[in-house]
Amino acid sequence: MVHHGAGCGYCPECLSGYHQLCKKLFLLGTPPTDGSWSDLMLSRAIGCIKLPERLSFADGAIMGCTGGSVFRIFERLNVSAYDTVAIYGVGPLGLCAVLLGKAMGARTLAVDLGNERLDFAKKLGADEIINAMTTNPVEAIKSLTKQKGASVAIDFSGNATANVLRSLEFGGRAGIIGLGHDTRDGFLLKTGDILFRNLTVVGNLIFPIDTPRKMIDFLLLHNISLDRIVTHKFPLEKALEALELFDTLKTGKIMLVW
């Protein structure tokens, strides 16, 4: 698998693990660097990670951004079997969160606006699904937790930050990973909501370069196949068709395959 960004390897930022902050960053898909939608791709060797035989290239591709980002936010939020995790948005990131959350022993509550993705989340192991188009998700989460609230809630959509905070119990932990209307147009965050409810709010800049190595061990230990979140596969020449289908918000992960 290939890490999406590789730095020089020697500066303080790289040595901290966050190559994304390197002033000599080699970021795939950002001009003048080529992306991966081609038959050949150039990458720095430091960003290449060998996969064990038990993991597929599909596992590696998903881990290279989607899966690694989920694993990292779970790691930062210390998700465990003690937790009830509310997952806002079950696109590819949220579907990965269902898989990894269940492997960590957590109770998972999946929230989305469409039945197709919610039904898929249920098949992947979500304990409860909540359609926010027909149900108030905060009230539903409170009802499912005896009015206590989730111990962890994560916004994978970028449009649910307010509800994420409202869904938490006293002392709960919030993760912000999606970029959407709340972050683009501005979200009024009342500091008292965090202060008086003793909340922890964590942002996530993708993941450091050591995350894939830890995640590989986790996937092997729990016998997880990330390609379970894939619903469609297309050849490269049908990339436009793949993008149009994904834009319907009714699929899981879509892959381009050779």
What is the Cα–Cα distance from 113 to 27, expressed in whole angstroms? 33
User: Domain of 105?
Assistant: 82-203
Which CATH number fits the domain that encloses residue 59?
A: 3.90.180.10
Residue 117 and residue 156 share a domain = yes
Residue 239 and residue 170 share a domain = no
Arithmetic mean of pLDDT over the chain:
92
Contact in structure between 88 and 94 (CB atoms under 8 Å): yes
Residue 197 and residue 90 share a domain = yes
Question: What pLDDT, on the 0 to 100 scale, is given for residue 185?
Answer: 47
Amino acid identity, residue 179?
L
Model pTM score: 0.93
Residue 154 and residue 107 share a domain = yes
Residue 116 and residue 59 share a domain = no
* pLDDT (tens digit per residue) in 69-120: 999 999 999 999 999 999 999 999 999 999 999 999 999 999 999 999 999 9
What is the Cα–Cα distance from 60 to 51, expressed in whole angstroms? 7
Residue 182 and residue 215 share a domain = no
Residue 14 and residue 37 share a domain = yes
Residue 160 and residue 173 share a domain = yes
Say if 71 falls within a structural domain.
Answer: no
Say if 182 falls within a structural domain.
Answer: yes
Say if 77 falls within a structural domain.
Answer: no
Which string of b and e fits 248-258 if b means at least 16 CB within 10 Å? eeebbbbbbee
Q: Which of 203, 227, 243 delimits the end of a domain?
A: 203
Residue 93 and residue 198 share a domain = yes
Question: What pLDDT, on the 0 to 100 scale, is given for residue 202?
Answer: 95
Residue 131 and residue 189 share a domain = yes
How many domains, in total, are found in the chain?
A: 2
Which residue ranges in the chain fall short of pLDDT 70? 181-189
Contact in structure between 90 and 147 (CB atoms under 8 Å): no
